[in-house]
Amino acid sequence: MKSWIAFWNILVKDMRTYYLKPPNISWGLIFPLAWTGMFFIKSGSGLGSIPTLLPGVVAISILFGTTSLLAVTVTFEKKNRSFERLLLAPLPLEILMLAKTSGAVLFGVANAFVPVAMAAWIMDLSPIAWRLFIPAVFLISIAST
């Protein structure tokens, strides 16, 4: 039970300290906007290309969101010497690494739904197989960390 309390506290600390800062949130919104616009202009087709572009834009949003933020947390904590304190804490290394990576996974999942929200604003997304899409978002987020 103490391990899960430590897991939760590390996750909340990372979210509060690193992930939920205004620059990260704004870049989490700006990058998917830019990629969607870039792919939409490059495709040269109308609104009909959005369902074909959406999986790629979602995957790119997840990839860049998770990898950049996970690298930031570990780098800043090594610089501030708080990572050494976490390594010396009396908790299993697996729980520490799970807490560190789960924050990036959650941010990647949230980042994935920015292009989905933009696409839903423009067109009807009923043809999307949500039963496949949502687990794929979680798996891509896990694989991208």
Contact between 133 and 62 under an 8 Å Cβ cutoff? The reply is: no
Cα(18)–Cα(36) distance, integer angstroms: 25
Residue 72 has pLDDT above 80, yes or no: no
Q: What is the pLDDT of residue 20?
A: 77
The string of pLDDT tens digits covering residues 77-88 is 778 777 777 777
Cβ of 95: how many Cβ atoms within 10 Å?
16
The string of pLDDT tens digits covering residues 16-69 is 887 777 777 777 777 777 877 777 777 776 667 777 788 888 888 888 878 777
Cα(95)–Cα(107) distance, integer angstroms: 18
Nearest-CA neighbor of 108 among 26, 40, 19, 34? 19
CB-based contacts of 70, cutoff 8 Å, min separation 6: 100, 101, 103, 104, 145
More confident residue, 98 or 46: 98
Contact between 112 and 138 under an 8 Å Cβ cutoff? The reply is: no
Q: What is the pLDDT of residue 137?
A: 92
Q: What is the pLDDT of residue 134?
A: 92
Q: Which two tokens stand for residue 46?
A: 């109308």
DSSP-derived secondary structure for 94-139: HHHHHHHHHHHHHHHHHHHHHHHHHHHHHS--TTS-HHHHHHHHHH
* Stretch 101-117: mean pLDDT: 87
Q: What is the pTM of this model?
A: 0.79
Contact between 106 and 65 under an 8 Å Cβ cutoff? The reply is: no
* Stretch 80-97: mean pLDDT: 79
The string of pLDDT tens digits covering residues 122-145 is 888 888 888 999 999 999 999 988
